[in-house]
């Protein structure tokens, strides 16, 4: 856990914010708080196909949605 005041300096060394969630019953209805945190820091976001990331972030072009390991890597490298 990081203090919100520390997030800008913490994320400064990152190239991309990744959210590689497993796709299963436990993650079917999660709404990751990392998404707006990454976006507010200016990081590009790559996530597996989690419903609450796809809508609205993926649909608005704010996050790349990966449906395979290969897509996840490709999206992450695009940054």
Residue ranges of domains in the chain: 16-21+32-79
Bond from prior residue into 56 cis (ω within 30 degrees of 0): yes
The per-residue pLDDT for range 10-60, each reduced to its tens digit, is 889 999 999 999 999 999 889 999 999 999 889 999 999 999 999 999 999
Judge whether 53 and 65 are in contact, CB under 8 Å: yes
Q: pTM for the whole thing?
A: 0.88
Taking residue 52's Cβ as centre, other Cβ atoms within 10 Å add up to 14
Give the C-alpha distances (Å, rounded to integers) separating 30 from 14, 35, 67: 24, 12, 17
Residue 23: both structure tokens together: 């796709």
């Amino acid at each position: 856990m990081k203090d919100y005041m520390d997030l800008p300096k913490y994320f400064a060394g990152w190239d991309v914010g990744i959210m590689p969630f497993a796709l299963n019953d436990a993650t079917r209805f999660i709404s990751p708080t990392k998404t707006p945190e990454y976006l507010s820091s200016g990081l590009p976001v790559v996530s597996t196909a989690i419903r609450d990331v796809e809508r609205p972030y993926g649909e608005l072009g704010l996050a790349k949605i990966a449906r395979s390991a290969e897509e996840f890597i490709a999206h992450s490298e695009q940054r």
